[in-house]
Amino acid sequence: MNSINALKDKFDSDESRTISILRAIDSRKYDIAKDKAKSTIEEIENLKKELKSEGDLNAAYLTNSFYELLLRVSLFWQHIERESYYQSWWALQDGLDHLRQLKKFYLAKNKALSFFENQLIELEKLYPYKLFSSPGFIVESFQCSICKNDIDSDFCSHMKGELYSGEIAYAVAQEIKDIDHFAFVTNPTNKRLVIDNNDNHIQFNLFKEVVEHFNSNNLSPLGFSTLKRYEFMRPDEDWVKLPRNSECYCGSGKKFKKCCIGNSQKKQIHVDFMGHHIFA
């Protein structure tokens, strides 16, 4: 297992804690995985207090971000099994955020990161969410999270989104004056604000099928790295053919010709789970 080797001499040199968390996730012991990830994150935060050099602090940040990723993966699968799909979406987006930071700043090849990069992006495609809210605000200024100066001023030497001594520089809005707009968008930077987050959407049957595969031991949470999705039409067993001017069977109160007359078939989605196991 080629796990992150930051602070290798001081922290998890044999990768045993990383492997134990991954095995807990794969065996669906999500609470154990979460507890181990949280305790590891706390240990890293305590270790950071002893570090002085920028290199060590940055390594600690990346190591911490790796275990945050494992924590979010644990939460994701737990929410999936509980059929809390919108919460699973948040855990997935949090995990992808940590993954992007790791891919940006940790340049060495890493088997676990490559696995999650493939798997999480593929899992994101299974959700029915297509429309998101993107608010715009009018603010007085933006403060640098590190030096506390105006991030656009000459007094701030930090670049937004870059890593400095274990901290990411980001802009903190100061004195929000007003909401400028709310836009509906299809591909925002932040995908958490879903317009329709109904957990009963029929497309979530795909995740129910995944859990059924888990229960029958045909698949495990870390037993696939990619997937192939098929869409096709099939007859709708609930569709009823009526005279055109009859009241529609669905209960809408409309005439059949203006309602369900064209709905004799419905879209079916099938997914094949493919690729390698994380330990393969």
pLDDT at 138 over 50: yes
> What pLDDT score was predicted for residue 119?
98
Give CA–CA dist 67/48, Å, rounded.
15
How do residues 199-244 score in pLDDT, each as one tens digit? Answer: 999 899 999 999 999 999 999 999 999 999 888 888 988 899 999 9
CA–centroid distance for 257 within its chain: 42
Q: What is the tens place of the pLDDT at every residue in 160-204?
A: 999 999 999 999 988 777 777 778 888 888 999 999 899 999 899
Task: State mean pLDDT over 248-265.
Answer: 94
This prediction has a pTM of 0.85
Spatial separation of the C-alpha atoms in residues 201 and 207, rounded to whole Å: 11
Residue pair 62/4 in contact (Cβ under 8 Å)? The answer is yes
pLDDT digits (tens, 9 = 90+) for 36-67: 999 999 999 998 999 999 999 999 999 999 99
Q: Tell me, what's the pLDDT at 3?
A: 40
- Alpha-carbon distance values, 194 to 29, 132, 133, 199 (Å): 29, 5, 6, 12
Six-digit token string for 143:
């403060």
Residues ≥6 apart with Cβ < 8 Å to 220: 26, 27, 28, 214, 277
DSSP lists the bridge partners of residue 198 as: none
Token couple for 224:
């696939």
